[in-house]
Amino acid sequence: MTKYMLRHDRPNCIGCAACVAIAPDYWEMASDDKSSIKGGKRMPDGTEERVIEEKDFAANKDAAQSCPVNVISVWDENKTKKIV
């Protein structure tokens, strides 16, 4: 089964909540008024990552395309190629 890596450049998130409106199964607002990936892993640099499956791809592609500051991306699972 194809898997992807959903990535969030969280330090540069402006907290507009578009991703949460579009993909609430995957995104939520946090107490610091930025969004977070539900079930995501917070990295030392403040970014977030979560492995997602094919069934999760379309919603997160839409979320990425809705983000006004382009801080959401979807990569192949090994993070070698950016897909969205």
Site residues (CB under 6 A) for ligand SF4?
Answer: 13-19, 35, 66-67, 69, 71-72
Can you tell me the distance from the alpha carbon of 19 to that of 51, in angstroms, rounded to the nearest whole number? 17
Nearest distance in Å: CB 38, ligand SF4: 12
Nearest distance in Å: CB 15, ligand SF4: 5
**Pairing of the two strands 35-37 and 27-29:** antiparallel
By beta-carbon proximity to ligand SF4, the closer residue of 17 and 57 is: 17
Name the burial class of residue 75, with classes exposed (0-12), middle (13-18) and buried (19+) by CB atoms within 10 angstroms of its CB.
Answer: middle
| β partners of residue 60 | none
Can you tell me the distance from the alpha carbon of 61 to that of 48, in angstroms, rounded to the nearest whole number? 16
By beta-carbon proximity to ligand SF4, the closer residue of 5 and 18 is: 18
By beta-carbon proximity to ligand SF4, the closer residue of 2 and 29 is: 29
Nearest distance in Å: CB 5, ligand SF4: 16
